[in-house]
Structure 1
């Protein structure tokens, strides 16, 4: 059983509990939030989805004491285009309250990063103040992927479809996903290769599709590597969570999106 299998098994338990709950938390204050499917295609520098991540199955503890609201404010001040909040409790030590707290602290788009397998989770994320949800193609059947994508879109949420290989990218392309996240980490081995991004990005023919590179982004040269393969944005968690100088780290990653400016980016 892979770690993804273990996580999905836990999510199935959580969904059953959510459906039994009768006292739902009051929805977070709804703010007017820009859509990254539009904004990420109109910027001059690399868009950064800055992640709040306490821990992970592959890395263990990263920053268990982080204050999500304060971290979000720091990210916004440094120029983040969106905030990603890991809400899985069992494996990543997050919670939906983290999304609520971040929403109170910022008007930036918020990606609720979890393992969505049911519409009840989407309702929960929206109520907490998320404007984007993550759908991991590897965790869903094609039918369930289509169902959840349609449901989230009908709720006014954006969807980041995450893929890891060619078969998953074919599904995302067939779905006509507006935002596709290419995860450079192999789900089975946990090895990371930035070449994964270029290989899978080449399969996308719709010029309107926003491509996000996920995992393994640490340096300016890493960003150049994925930028040159078509990335409009990068999702960065561990590198930012552990940065000694957050402003300096952001400056290193926010390279020009135009390849013509590559010389100035080095």
Structure 2
């Protein structure tokens, strides 16, 4: 891991230790059945969309602190998002699990808990807040821990988006026989982005049943067209949505992009 990523994970470990009382589990809530993100993407011919709500990030600083998560989520659904990603990390992204809880209660599409998940308690909290999906970053987890967290989420009925950045990550992700893989175009050592990461890794994923989501650095409709041409099934779009004056219009344009046939 890069020094910066190591710092984030160490911070997350300290956060979990210092918030043990706050993080105590609640009874499992009754959950309304929603069509999964995987099913939604498989049932459409156009590019799938995970639209992201994030107030800020370490690489960009403040993005948008003026809009409520439920308001933005409503715009995302209007634009045709197949799922909504919520940054819940407090320290580096100014998010909170309450953002996810509020959005999950309002929308009919699945909600992704996007965080640096390193312990089962975080998965439990995401489930209790109404998440239908979680993110596991292959790069930050040892093989045994990755398998443990993945299976824990699956037992809860959650979808797992396994995030990779290179061939080593991909090899480990494939050992889990996943339904969802996210290709992160961001170099975690220097935080630069390059869409060719998706293009190169897509060539190595030959299982047509795996839904591939391209993440990071996707700023325009043209970027989405490039990703679709590479063979990806969906995109995760955050900064572009948060900065756009009419995110529903941007998403509607992306939602018209045809996926490359298998």
Query: Do both proteins adopt the same fold according to a TM-score greater than 0.5, normalized to the shorter chain?
Result: yes
1:9 aligns with 2:6: no
More deviation in 32-41 or 83-92?
32-41
Matched with 1:171 is 172
Matched with 1:263 is none
How big is each residue's C-alpha offset from its partner over 1:114-135, in whole Å with a ceiling of 9 and x where there is no partner? Answer: 0000001100110011010000
Task: Return the TM-score normalized by structure 1.
Answer: 0.92
Task: Tell whether the 8 Å contact from 1:28 to 1:100 is kept in structure 2 after alignment.
Answer: no
Distance 2:191 2:178 in 1: 25
Matched with 2:188 is 187
Structure 2 alignment gaps of length 5 or more = none
Matched with 2:65 is 64
Task: Tell whether the 8 Å contact from 1:32 to 1:107 is kept in structure 2 after alignment.
Answer: no
Structure 1 alignment gaps of length 5 or more = 261-266
Report deviation, 1:252: 2.8
Residues paired across the two proteins, number: 260
Map 1:101-250 onto structure 2 (within 5 A). 101-250=102-251
- CA shift in 2, pair 1:28/1:72, >3 Å: farther
Task: Return the TM-score normalized by structure 2.
Answer: 0.94
Q: Write out the 4+ residue segments of structure 1 that deviate beyond 6 Å after TM superposition.
A: none
SS at match of 2:99: helix
Q: CA RMSD in A?
A: 1.7
- CA shift in 2, pair 1:181/1:22, >3 Å: closer
- CA shift in 2, pair 1:97/1:27, >3 Å: farther
Report deviation, 1:211: 0.1
Distance 1:99 1:70 in 2: 13
Task: Tell whether the 8 Å contact from 2:182 to 2:212 is kept in structure 1 after alignment.
Answer: yes
SS at match of 1:182: strand
Matched with 1:38 is 39
Distance 2:16 2:176 in 1: 25
SS at match of 1:175: coil
SS at match of 2:181: strand
Task: Tell whether the 8 Å contact from 1:220 to 1:255 is kept in structure 2 after alignment.
Answer: no
Report deviation, 1:220: 2.1
More deviation in 161-170 or 35-44?
35-44
Matched with 1:79 is 80
Distance 2:161 2:184 in 1: 11
- CA shift in 2, pair 1:54/1:26, >3 Å: farther
Report deviation, 1:31: 1.8
Matched with 1:264 is none
- CA shift in 2, pair 1:161/1:259, >3 Å: closer
Report deviation, 1:232: 0.8
Task: Tell whether the 8 Å contact from 1:173 to 1:204 is kept in structure 2 after alignment.
Answer: no
Task: Tell whether the 8 Å contact from 1:49 to 1:83 is kept in structure 2 after alignment.
Answer: yes
SS at match of 2:49: strand
Distance 2:242 2:176 in 1: 33
Task: Tell whether the 8 Å contact from 2:221 to 2:250 is kept in structure 1 after alignment.
Answer: no
Report deviation, 1:227: 0.8
- CA shift in 2, pair 1:237/1:141, >3 Å: same
Task: Tell whether the 8 Å contact from 2:212 to 2:234 is kept in structure 1 after alignment.
Answer: yes
Distance 1:61 1:27 in 2: 34
